[in-house]
Chains A and B, each alone.
Chain A
Amino acid sequence: MAKSSSVLIKRYTASDRFNHWFVAITFILLALSGLALFHPAFFFLTHLLGGGTWTRILHPFIGVVMFAGFAGMMLRFWKLNYITDNDRKWMKQIVDVLANRHEKLLPVGHYNAGQKYLFWTMVVCIPLLLITGVLMWQPYFAPLVPIVVARLAVLLHAVAAFVIIAGIIVHIYAGTMWVKGSMRAMTRGTVTHAWAKHHHAAWCDEVSKRDK
């Protein structure tokens, strides 16, 4: 075991990591400032961006910046997220996944089905958030939008934001607390061979074969 732990496998390039954290930082700012305007219980979060008015001013600009960043991630990781039959099986075994019974699961490739579905959820939600966000953007675009459209936009914006925030909470939990050894993939770019073998066996074999 000591041997496999000393071998590091490259998982993300510096550019991948920059892109991820760029989106992550903007996402956190957007989620907190957006929640602030969603429910009064979160209104205190407007202080994060300097008050209610500043929140209203900055949130949409940050949103556009995040979209640009996410577009980069979309291009980078699109092909790695195609859903396969193995992924469907993985989803059916979600109880085993949650119970950490990895021995019962099929070998996972670069991403597991949970990661892939999160990716596709973001692929749907982020452009939807951009479009609905532009429609409600004061004072630039909202005045041009018919009220009926504005009502649909605010509702869809809230729903899409809810879905994506819930998804990202799971993502953060899995990456920082649940699956030990994952964090370094996004901070240092490498994972241990043991980690790769354990969580992404098919990818691990593929990388080992390629490198030989």
Chain B
Amino acid sequence: MALQTLDIQRRSATTTPSPSVRQTTEVAKLIDISKCIGCKACQTACMEWNDIRDEVGSNAGTYDNPRDLTENSWTVMRYSEVEVEQGKLEWLIRKDGCMHCADPGCLKACPSPGAIIQHSNGIVDFQQEHCIGCGYCIAGCPFNVPRISKKDNKAYKCTLCSDRVGVGMEPACVKTCPTGAIVFGSKEDMIQHAEERVVDLKERGYGKAGLYDPQGVGGTHVMYVLQHADQPELYHGLPKDPAISPMVSLWKGVTKPLMSLALGVVALAGFFHFVTVGPTETHDEEEEV
């Protein structure tokens, strides 16, 4: 989403500071999976606020619909039926979408200046008019979130309603959630709220309940309260300790400046070889043009 702003903390493929005079409070969306009833009101609110519609898909035998994130569905409910204790079926429903990492792999991978920005409030936002459609963000993301549109070849994902948050409103999914499973506020407040929820869940028999705010990506600005925080994989494969892949870190970390520098050095070495050692010439000047 494009939004003129003065609180840009990080900007893809940019080596100088971005407009950042305005400092905003770090925000977070907290999704309490124990309170989610899987009604998909959040999916609908997301479509309505952003005014995009996915194609009507087909039923795959589960409640998951659409089956996966798409360029038009920036959030989808993932339904997992699990038996953590033998004979005790649990229906874990996770609202999937961008986690708004503090250390975003998409932004690190993106080659186009300003196509991905991170606001000082923690929101990671795609600026589609700068997107070139290369798909590097997909390789960079530890959560498999960005999707490229087949219509315009631009990458799309949840904006955390940056346009709403920017004017002091909560994200559309938060506003619409009928059970209060999704709440929004400062990251500090959300962590505190989560801790209260975890205490409550532990009292109710979920001994391993906890907050999902993975530190491998510097923490996230979308967090979950999980009943089984020791096994996040139960929730449709939520990664246990996500981090930017070492291959991506290598590619867009040290190799990027080192290889660029090395190419410059090779070219310069040629020049200095020429002006010191000089060319080799055969003895017939008239031929050597």
* Contact A169/B267 with A43-B13, A138-B153 known, Cβ cut-off 8 Å: yes
Residues of B within 8 Å of A194, CB to CB, are 282-284, 287
Residues of A within 8 Å of B201, CB to CB, are none
Task: Choose one: B148, B248, B282, B287; the contact of A139 (CB below 8 Å).
Answer: B148
Which segment of B78-86, B132-140, B173-181, B213-221 sits at the interface?
B132-140
Proximity bits, A97-110, B CB within 8 Å = 1, else 0: 01110100000000
B204 at the interface (CB under 8 A from A): no
Question: Which single residue of chain B is at the shortest CB-CB distance from A174?
Answer: B270
Residues of A within 8 Å of B277, CB to CB, are 98-100
Chain B interface (Cβ < 8 Å from any Cβ of A): 13-15, 109, 111-113, 130, 132-136, 138-139, 141, 144, 148, 150, 153, 245, 247-248, 250-251, 255-257, 259-260, 262-263, 266-267, 270, 273-274, 277-284, 286-289
Which segment of A48-56, A68-76, A85-93, A115-123 sits at the interface?
A48-56
7 interchain residue pairs of minimum CB distance: A5-B284, A52-B132, A173-B270, A37-B111, A40-B13, A194-B282, A151-B247
Q: Are B273 and A98 in contact (CB under 8 A)?
A: yes
Residues of B within 8 Å of A199, CB to CB, are 280, 282
23 pairs of residues in contact across A and B, judged by CB atoms under 8 Å: A40-B14, A40-B15, A40-B113, A43-B112, A46-B132, A99-B277, A138-B148, A139-B150, A139-B153, A147-B141, A151-B139, A151-B247, A152-B247, A154-B248, A169-B270, A177-B274, A178-B270, A179-B280, A192-B282, A192-B287, A195-B287, A198-B280, A199-B280
* Contact A41/B260 with A138-B148, A139-B133 known, Cβ cut-off 8 Å: yes
B71 to chain A, nearest CB (A): 11
B-facing residues in A151-201 (Cβ within 8 Å) = 151-152, 154-155, 158-159, 162, 165-166, 169-170, 173, 177-181, 184, 192, 194-195, 197-199
Residues of A within 8 Å of B138, CB to CB, are 142, 147, 150
* Contact A151/B287 with A39-B257, A98-B277 known, Cβ cut-off 8 Å: no
Task: Choose one: A46, A51, A162, A180; the contact of B288 (CB below 8 Å).
Answer: A180
Task: Choose one: B134, B260, B279, B289; the contact of A39 (CB below 8 Å).
Answer: B260
Residues of A within 8 Å of B248, CB to CB, are 151, 154-155
Q: Are B279 and A177 in contact (CB under 8 A)?
A: yes
Q: Are A165 and B283 in contact (CB under 8 A)?
A: no
Question: Which single residue of chain A is at the shortest CB-CB distance from B14?
Answer: A40
Bound-state Cα–Cα, A173 to B273, Å = 10
A38 at the interface (CB under 8 A from B): yes
Bound-state Cα–Cα, A158 to B254, Å = 12
Bound-state Cα–Cα, A195 to B289, Å = 12
Residues of A within 8 Å of B153, CB to CB, are 53, 138-139
Q: Are A165 and B139 in contact (CB under 8 A)?
A: no
What is the predominant secondary structure among interface residues of chain A facing chain B? helix
Chain A interface (Cβ < 8 Å from any Cβ of B): 1-2, 4-5, 35-43, 46, 51-53, 55-56, 98-100, 102, 136, 138-139, 142-143, 147-148, 150-152, 154-155, 158-159, 162, 165-166, 169-170, 173, 177-181, 184, 192, 194-195, 197-199
* Contact A154/B251 with A139-B153, A192-B284 known, Cβ cut-off 8 Å: yes
A55 to chain B, nearest CB (A): 7
Question: Which single residue of chain B is at the shortest CB-CB distance from A42?
Answer: B260
Bound-state Cα–Cα, A178 to B141, Å = 46
Q: Are B280 and A162 in contact (CB under 8 A)?
A: no
Bound-state Cα–Cα, A46 to B141, Å = 24
* Contact A1/B284 with A100-B278, A151-B139, A155-B251 known, Cβ cut-off 8 Å: yes
Bound-state Cα–Cα, A142 to B136, Å = 10
Question: Which single residue of chain A is at the shortest CB-CB distance from B150?
Answer: A139
Bound-state Cα–Cα, A187 to B125, Å = 51
Bound-state Cα–Cα, A186 to B136, Å = 38
Bound-state Cα–Cα, A198 to B280, Å = 10
Bound-state Cα–Cα, A1 to B287, Å = 11
Residues of A within 8 Å of B284, CB to CB, are 1-2, 4-5, 192, 194
Residues of B within 8 Å of A147, CB to CB, are 138-139, 141, 144
Residues of B within 8 Å of A198, CB to CB, are 280, 282
Residues of B within 8 Å of A158, CB to CB, are 251, 255, 259
Question: Which single residue of chain A is at the shortest CB-CB distance from B11?
Answer: A40
